Structure 1
Amino acid sequence: MALAGASAVLPPSMARAESIWDMFARNRVLREADPAGASAAAQALIETTEPILSYDTAYNLQLAISQYEPFVAAGGWEDVPREVYGLRLGNDREGVIALKRRLMSSGDMPFAERVDNIVDQVTDAAIRTFQARHGLRLTGEVDEATFYAMAVPASTRLNQLYLNLQRVTNMAPNLSERYVVVNIPAATIEAVEGGYVVQRHTAVVGRVERATPILASKVHQINFNPYWHVPKSIIRNDLIKYMNEDPEYLTKFRIHIYDGKGQEISPTQINWQTDEAVNYMFRQEPGAENSMGHCKINFHNPYDVYLHDTPTKSLFGENARFHSSGCVRVEGVNQLVTWLLRDNGWDLSRVDSTFASNERIDEALKNPVPIHTTYITAWANRQGTVSFRDDVYQFDAQGKVAFEA
């Protein structure tokens, strides 16, 4: 949200015993609160049709910078005390006033001259707004991820705005009428058309040691119900370990081994105490347990990365979705595939039925769609909502604004 401009000057909280009036006040707060409504309102602030990557984003970032600069020059927001950790709706204890000051100073909570020690419905809504802007689960609780996001100094946030303005400005001239953006720090995907987001998807991207690369390419093909050819890096770093832990691992996950002549061999023919396995080809059969799920979205690149479905849907509900080996897993991938294959005459019903059939089909796009994997840790929309994400790959810390496509 738009920055309030200065922290409220409020008296410190004081420890005190709870009176019967305090208990009545807390019960009233709990009774009258609408957490679901507060979450929906917070989500609406960020789920606009404006792309993370566009010319408009650059303009909105400039506006955000103009708000943050004088605020940071005045000292920024105060540090959050440990007492705010764990606070949630109905709590009445030391730290609440400091929490409210923090939420007011970042514009998540309306300014008030006087506040009390209770986390009321206004404070609960403000916590959820803060969480939405930082890509966190909307719990309404100052949990670990929320606490650490609140502890980031305003000066650091301003520096993120500077860096990302340069990144967006560098990339915007290369955008077309229709494109896909994978924003790695946010672990999200946007399908953009005519300057508007028509689809937004939660994603799982590469962990730090196996980072998703920054690139620009074009989606040219969809593989339905693909085989998965296990990369040598995964054979070496993961598969050998799994087989030592469970000799039936390959059988359970329908992974077959082939030698250089294309002949299938048995897992018992390999010495799993060595790296011998990397000399063979490992192929997983199509199906629900396939590591790529029901589809693979291909675009030319030198890193052998792609977008794909996944059988592990639970990861999409996490705060930090950095688990892959460089490729990108897509929630609701059937909708994205339908959008990509629109000019091929595919609709959602056909995509879903093809998924369910387990039939192997390779469909080339009649009109390849540009795709950009990017690193944007701060952006803003025209409503004044400013979003931030963690510098997971430390590109902000390096001051990196240009990337090789």
Structure 2
Amino acid sequence: MSNKPANLAMSRRALLRGAAVAGAAVIAGQAAAQTAIDDVINAPRRGNWDDQFDAQVSRANANVVSNTPVLSPSNVMHVQQAIANYQAIVANGGWPQVNPGVKLKLGVIDPSVQTLRQRLMISGDLPRSAGLSDSFDTYVDGAVKRFQARHGLPDDGVLGEFTLKALNVPADTRLMQLNVNLQRLQDIVSKQLEARYIMVNIPAAYVEAVENDRVALRNTAIVGRISRPSPLVSSKVSDIILNPYWTAPRSIVEKDIVPLMQKDPTYLARNSIRLIDGNGNEVAPETIDWFAPKAPNLMFRQDPGKINAMSATKINFPSPDAVYMHDTPTQGLFNKLMRFESSGCVRVQNVRDLIVWVLKYTPGWSRQQIEQVIASRVNTPIPLSDEVGVHWVYLTAWSAKDNVVQFRDDIYQLDGNVQLALDTNIGVEQVAGSISVDDDLVPQQ
């Protein structure tokens, strides 16, 4: 087993604290990376390229995605093969640490690129035929992008701080991670999954819609922050609610809404939140003493609409934790690299695509009909005609394709190694103009 520097875990967690804002630049970063490629290709002097310059290698997207679901029984074999491969890597001394003195990216020539090549060859991201040299050419660029895609990082081909930290997690730590997650996967697939189901992989913060052991849709997700983790779930969709109401939990009423009403008596009206008594009657906010010792014993219910905390859709299923999946008015959060922002529920990007898939076998609910009801702002529950499972799982390492192993950070610190854990302050910050609520955000404006 290799020695692990004591400060590695701390520096990794401190670094990832800033990752919550890094994802917003993913698209721009990828465009900049392609511009850099074109600049190098078209340069009259390409420099001292020791290897053949192959533009196609760098332009091709990292081929790490598979149509095989994460929870496919066939993946047990892939993870077992990955474990065997990593056992051999560890037995041979692991891989070298990459500590460049300059930022490594396409076109750079530096002695540390040789170490980077070795590291990427050992993990199978760079073909050994690419050779060893000091040149960060398109073969290295393509390999770095492949590595980044396998670790849920923006595949821009640049060795920034996040990529370096992932590269320098020791091989024996990755082997441990694979062993822990193999057991989790085996426990899940030992149970018969439905022909159609929704899978949420919490550490990866994304959703798969699966039909007959093939992925029909993948959606980016926002999951529970570290202080309010999303639970493991095994259930079935009961109904879809278009234009749902949102009812504020008592804790939010006491901690957030009452103080806001003390400062701004128009807060409830501006946010379409109504007060309902035990008989179903609406109570006027101006009749309430907002400075009383206790918050009013009333229901705080937000009307359907664009500013509703669940926006236009909600996916319901029985759960002892009373969690669910839903839309959100704060779409910008999906651009973040670290999407651990909710209080347990799961927000789904492009959720209407998922709703269309869920209602595929429920008569009378085409995409056009769904959009018409959403536009009406009328609260509409839709019971399903067929069985659709819901499975929220916790897998930080998996493989759905030969020789492609995916790793994610251990956001809830369940893998047993501090080097894989995120900083405990990730995801608890308030979003400007919003207050954090039980499962989403209530806008203040």
Per the normalisation by structure 2, the TM-score is 0.76
1:81 pairs with 2:102: no
Deviation at 1:280, TM superposition (A): 3.2
Q: Comparing 117-126 with 296-305, which one deviates more in the overlay?
A: 117-126
Matched, 1:231 2:252: no
Match of 1:396 among 412, 415, 421: 415
* Equivalent residue number for residue 346 of structure 2: 328
Match of 1:210 among 191, 204, 228: 228
Aligned counterpart for 1:161 among listed residues 178, 194, 203: 178
Task: Report what 1:318 is aligned to.
Answer: 336
Counterpart residue type for residue 68 of structure 1: Y
Equivalences for 1:355-366 in 2 at 5 Å?
355-366=374-385
1:123 is aligned to 2:104: no
CA distance in 2, matches of 1:272, 1:135: 48
- Name the structure 2 match of 1:286: 304
Aligned residues with identical type, % of pairs: 41
Q: Any conservation in 2 of the 1:216–1:371 contact (CA below 8 Å)?
A: yes
Partner of 1:306: 324
Q: d(CA) in 1 for partners of 2:358 and 2:115?
A: 48
Paired with 2:319 and 2:59, the residues of 1 have a C-alpha distance of 39
**How many angstroms apart in 2 are the aligned matches of 1:158 and 1:294?**
43
Q: Which residue of 2 aligns with 1:24?
A: 45
Equivalent residue number for residue 372 of structure 2: 353
Q: CA RMSD in A?
A: 2.8
Residue matched to 1:6: none
Contact 2:130 2:139 in 1 (8 A): no
Check if 1:296 corresponds to 2:318. no
| Residues 4-43 of structure 1 mapped to structure 2, 5 A cutoff | 24-25=45-46, 38=58, 41-42=61-62
Asked if 1:69 is matched to 2:67, the reply is no
- Pick one of 187, 200, 220 that aligns with 2:218: 200
Structure 1 pair 299–87 and aligned structure 2 pair: CA distance change class (3 A): same
Aligned to 1:100: 117
> 1:96 offset after TM fit, Å?
2.6
Offset at residue 209 of structure 1 (A): 0.5
Q: CA deviation at 1:388?
A: 0.5
Unmatched 5+ stretches in structure 1: 1-21, 400-405
Q: How many residues align?
A: 371
Q: What one-letter code is carried by the residue in structure 2 that aligns with 1:74?
A: N
Residue aligning to 1:13: none
Find the aligned partners of 1:116 and 1:234 in 2 and give their Cα distance. Answer: 58
Is residue 144 of structure 1 aligned with residue 161 of structure 2?
Answer: yes
Write out per-residue CA displacement over residues 201-233 of structure 1, whole angstroms, 9 at most, x where no aligned residue: 111100011110002111010010111112233
Equivalences for residues 53-68 of structure 1 within 5 A: 53-68=71-86
Deviation at 1:80, TM superposition (A): 2.2
| Selected match of 2:284 from 252, 255, 265 | 265
Alpha-carbon displacement from aligned partner over 1:186-213 (angstroms, at most 9, x marks no partner) = 1111111111111111111000111100
Give 1:34 shift: 5.8
Cα distance in structure 1, aligned partners of 2:234 and 2:81:
28
Q: C-alpha distance in 2, partners of 1:51/1:104?
A: 27
* Alignment partners' CA distance in 2, 1:56 and 1:245: 57
Deviates more, 1:231-240 or 1:301-310: 231-240
Normalising to structure 1: TM-score of the pair?
0.83
* Gaps in structure 2 of 5+ consecutive residues: 1-42, 419-445
**1:239–1:124: structure 2 CA closer, same or farther, 3 Å change rule?**
farther
- Alignment partners' CA distance in 1, 2:284 and 2:204: 42
Within a 5 Å distance, the mapping from 1:237-276 to structure 2 comes to: 237-240=255-258, 248-261=266-279, 262-266=281-285, 269-271=288-290, 276=294
